[in-house]
């Protein structure tokens, strides 16, 4: 009878309605920051620091809330970058080759230039001082008169050389083709073969210079024959910045390097710096959210740091497909000779999330994060931000700032509690197990009754003789 009563009680428990969860409070979160806001402003925005990215338990930052003074949750939204950001524009520029003075002579170039009324160059010719090609190196005049934005970088393309070269170039700028100023000195340009890899340095940073015309003056002989000159323009709206964090890597059984980001950082670039000169490595970068998930390739790159003729050429950065995976693996194709006896230093460039919230109610406002109980928040504010970005409403959120960190629920808040729904599932399983035990007990009792001729069983036949 006791077993039957137990099954009945468990059945009642399993069928009982699930009690609604209590609303979240600041003590349901591990840590928090008081927010300084601007009076009279409804929308506020701030960039989340690395500590908050690493303090949450969810990759989507869903365990993050903003509370007002009354302990009410106010609407908020998250975005990785401002919606106005645009990729940098690139243009191919006309370029003209002229003869420079012979090696060792630093006199200015003598040339004649024909232009259209709008400033576009039609033709550039050198005024010979001696025979053409008598020991001089080529120089190039580049027409950037039709670009209205500052110049971020030049990208050079050349005909494939019969042999490798390593040289340097001075970059000069002018607005009238008569008065020139130097904006870059001895920028390295190279095309080399090393360890079966082609190493090329084609990019020259210009750091936002403004000029109608540029001139390349090669410092040494052996300048390449340029086939195209492209310019990368500084975007009208600066792209959102990347924050950089150094991580510690350790070798794994396969010879690769493993490192953990300790939180859902949206990684977009990695900076890998060999500690030893004359290092070169063909690398593959993989990531996964946790140990239960297979690795997936996020990017490949050729990393090198070489000293050639007393000058250093290097490639340190690798672009990766953006994502918030925590665990990373760096594999090296030529691991025996790639980085020498010391592993490289690794910095991760990630795009911090932007938090936008409504300052509803009275302050102070509290940003709380890190909770095993909190799930994804409803975010009606995201629709408003999207409408503002598409339409004519250009309400710019005011900047908020973070106060000192304060402990709320502490480490205990990071543990996920057993939900009422989980209790119900456990009760249902208990009912099933108890039901099976009840049936087994009833079957055992019936067999004993049949064997002993008890109630419901036939009497045993009389003994013979």
Asked if residue 7 belongs to a domain, the reply is no
Q: What is the mean pLDDT of residues 415-423?
A: 63
Q: Are residues 66 and 99 in the same domain?
A: no
Asked if residue 317 belongs to a domain, the reply is yes
Q: Are residues 37 and 71 in the same domain?
A: yes
pLDDT at 135: 46
Q: Are residues 35 and 162 in the same domain?
A: no
What is each CA distance from 286 to 33, 309, 390, 432, in whole angstroms? 34, 35, 36, 45
Q: Are residues 333 and 369 in the same domain?
A: no
Q: Are residues 67 and 105 in the same domain?
A: no
The strand pairing partners of 226, in sequence order, are 158
Percentage, residues of the chain above pLDDT 90: 32
The Cα 450–Cα 439 span in angstroms is 17
Asked if residue 12 belongs to a domain, the reply is no
Beta sheet of 279-288, edge-to-edge order = 250-251, 257-260, 327-332, 279-288, 296-308, 311-315
pLDDT at 160: 73
Q: Are residues 210 and 127 in the same domain?
A: yes
Asked if residue 361 belongs to a domain, the reply is yes
Q: Are residues 202 and 102 in the same domain?
A: yes
Q: What is the mean pLDDT of residues 148-172?
A: 85
Percentage, residues of the chain above pLDDT 70: 71
Domain of residue 147, residue span: 90-233
Asked if residue 448 belongs to a domain, the reply is no
Mean of per-residue pLDDT scores for the chain: 79
pLDDT (tens digit per residue) in 300-347? 998 888 887 777 888 889 999 888 999 999 998 766 656 777 889 999
Query: pLDDT band for position 103 (50/70/90)?
Result: very low
Asked if residue 307 belongs to a domain, the reply is yes
pLDDT at 396: 79
Task: Examine the pLDDT at 107 and tell me if it is beyond 50.
Answer: no
89-98, 148-157, 159-168, 294-303: which range is least confident on average?
159-168
Of 307, 335, 350, the domain-final residue: 350
Task: Examine the pLDDT at 152 and tell me if it is beyond 80.
Answer: yes
Asked if residue 384 belongs to a domain, the reply is yes
Query: pLDDT band for position 133 (50/70/90)?
Result: very low
pLDDT (tens digit per residue) in 186-203? 888 888 876 677 788 899
How many domains does the chain contain in total?
3
Q: What is the mean pLDDT of residues 125-138?
A: 52
pLDDT (tens digit per residue) in 235-269? 776 777 789 999 999 888 877 899 999 999 999 99
Its pTM stands at: 0.70
Q: Are residues 146 and 211 in the same domain?
A: yes
Greater model confidence, 435 or 184? 184
Q: What is the mean pLDDT of residues 355-377?
A: 89
Task: Examine the pLDDT at 392 and tell me if it is beyond 90.
Answer: no
pLDDT at 310: 76
Q: Are residues 296 and 338 in the same domain?
A: yes
Q: Which range has highest mean pLDDT (9-13, 121-125, 404-408, 449-453)?
A: 404-408
Of 396, 414, 432, the domain-final residue: 414
* 451-454: long-range pairs with CB below 8 Å, 24+: none
Query: pLDDT band for position 84 (50/70/90)?
Result: very low
Greater model confidence, 11 or 47? 47
Of 198, 215, 233, the domain-final residue: 233
Q: Are residues 111 and 223 in the same domain?
A: yes
Q: Are residues 146 and 274 in the same domain?
A: no
Q: What is the mean pLDDT of residues 158-166?
A: 76
Q: Are residues 287 and 363 in the same domain?
A: no
Asked if residue 436 belongs to a domain, the reply is no
Domain holding 151: CATH number?
2.60.120.260
pLDDT at 131: 43
């Amino acid at each position: 009878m006791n077993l039957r009563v137990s099954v009945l009680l468990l059945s009642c428990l399993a069928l009982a309605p699930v009690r609604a969860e209590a609303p979240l409070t600041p003590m349901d979160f591990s840590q928090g920051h008081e927010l300084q806001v601007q009076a009279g402003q409804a929308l506020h925005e701030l960039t989340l620091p690395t500590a908050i990215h690493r303090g949450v338990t969810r990759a989507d930052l869903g365990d993050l809330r903003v509370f007002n003074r009354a302990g009410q949750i106010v609407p908020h939204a998250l975005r990785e970058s401002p919606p106005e950001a645009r990729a940098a524009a690139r243009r191919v520029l006309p370029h003209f080759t002229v003869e420079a003075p012979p090696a060792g002579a630093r006199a200015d170039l003598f040339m004649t230039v024909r232009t259209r009324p709008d400033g576009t160059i039609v033709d550039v010719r050198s005024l010979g001082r001696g025979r053409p090609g008598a020991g001089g190196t080529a120089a190039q005049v580049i027409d950037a008169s039709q670009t209205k934005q500052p110049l971020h970088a030049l990208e050079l393309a050349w005909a494939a050389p019969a042999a490798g070269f390593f040289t340097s170039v001075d970059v000069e700028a002018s607005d009238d083709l008569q008065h020139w100023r130097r904006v870059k000195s001895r920028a390295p340009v190279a095309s080399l073969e090393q360890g079966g890899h082609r190493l090329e340095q084609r990019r020259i940073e210009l750091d936002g210079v403004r000029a109608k015309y540029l001139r390349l003056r090669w410092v040494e002989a052996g300048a390449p024959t340029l086939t195209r000159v492209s310019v990368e323009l500084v975007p009208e709206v600066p792209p959102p910045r990347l924050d950089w964090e150094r991580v510690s890597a350790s070798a794994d059984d396969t010879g690769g390097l493993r490192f953990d980001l300790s939180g859902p950082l949206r990684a977009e670039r990695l900076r890998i710096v060999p500690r030893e000169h004359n290092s070169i490595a063909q690398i593959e970068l993989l990531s996964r959210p946790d140990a239960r998930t297979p690795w997936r390739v996020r990017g490949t790159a050729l990393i090198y740091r070489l000293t050639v003729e007393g000058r250093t050429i290097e490639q340190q950065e690798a672009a990766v497909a953006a994502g918030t995976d925590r665990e990373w693996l760096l594999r090296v194709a030529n691991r025996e000779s790639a980085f020498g006896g010391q592993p490289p230093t690794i910095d991760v460039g990630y795009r911090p999330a932007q938090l936008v919230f409504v300052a509803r109610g009275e302050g102070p406002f509290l940003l709380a994060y890190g909770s095993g109980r909190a799930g994804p928040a409803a975010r009606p504010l995201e629709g408003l931000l999207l409408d503002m970005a598409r339409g004519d409403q250009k309400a710019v959120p005011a900047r908020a700032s973070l106060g000192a960190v304060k402990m709320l629920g502490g480490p205990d808040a990071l543990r996920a509690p057993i939900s009422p729904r989980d209790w119900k599932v456990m009760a249902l399983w208990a009912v099933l197990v108890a039901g099976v035990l009840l049936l087994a007990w009833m079957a055992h009792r019936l067999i004993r009754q049949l064997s002993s001729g008890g109630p419901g069983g036939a009497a045993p036949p009389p003994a013979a003789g």
